[in-house]
Amino acid sequence: MTDTIIVQIRPRRAMAIGVCTGLVAAIWLMICFWLFVFHANGLTWAGFLSTLVGAVFAGLACLNIGIAFKKPAALRMDAHGISGFYADPATWHEIEKIDTITDAKGRRFLGFGLLDAVAFRDHQTPWRRFVCWANGRHSGLHIIISEALLRDATAEGLAAQAKRLHQQAATR
């Protein structure tokens, strides 16, 4: 019998982030619109960049609100490996080490170190490649998941469960 561990995201946190970034986008875009209508004689580079910044905040708001409504599994661990919204799929044979880290502000993270990070990055999107590279460069762990994003789970507890599943996969 295989154990499957599914940890959900915190939808309230995603919704709060979405609403906050949506408010920032709305205020920013209203200010840009006011400047265009009353103080600008046309579209300038500063106006274009300001509008672009507002659009990025609006996109982040939509993304986070969508995450809150969809409620994807943040992390899924089973006999085959890991996957989830915050973790690209990796088998236990690709994972070399499992550990928890704490940043300077005391936030806890669950991390997975890969045997061959370059080969793993080949099937990722450019953004996920950058995140994997940045995480691995800093901590030696290439897939890092913040404990703050996980509902009803701790980084230490998940690391212990992941190590158990990793050990079971190694003995097969």
11-38: per-residue pLDDT in tens?
998 999 999 999 999 998 888 777 777 7
- Rounded to a whole number of angstroms, the distance between the first and last alpha carbons of the chain is 13
**98 vs 64: CA distance, rounded Å:** 28
**131 vs 81: CA distance, rounded Å:** 20
Domain ranges of the chain: 10-70, 73-171
Distances (CA, A) of 161 to 77, 97, 113, 158: 9, 13, 16, 5
Is CATH 2.30.29 the right assignment for the domain spanning 73-171? yes
Q: What is the DSSP letter of 150?
A: B
Is the pLDDT at 1 greater than 60, yes or no? no
pLDDT digits (tens, 9 = 90+) for 37-55: 776 666 677 677 778 888 9
Mean pLDDT (the chain, rounded): 86
Against a cut of 0.95, is the pTM above it? Answer: no
Question: What would the mean pLDDT of 105-121 be, rounded to a whole number?
Answer: 87
pLDDT digits (tens, 9 = 90+) for 54-67: 899 999 999 999 99
pLDDT digits (tens, 9 = 90+) for 122-161: 888 888 888 777 777 778 888 888 888 888 889 999 999 9
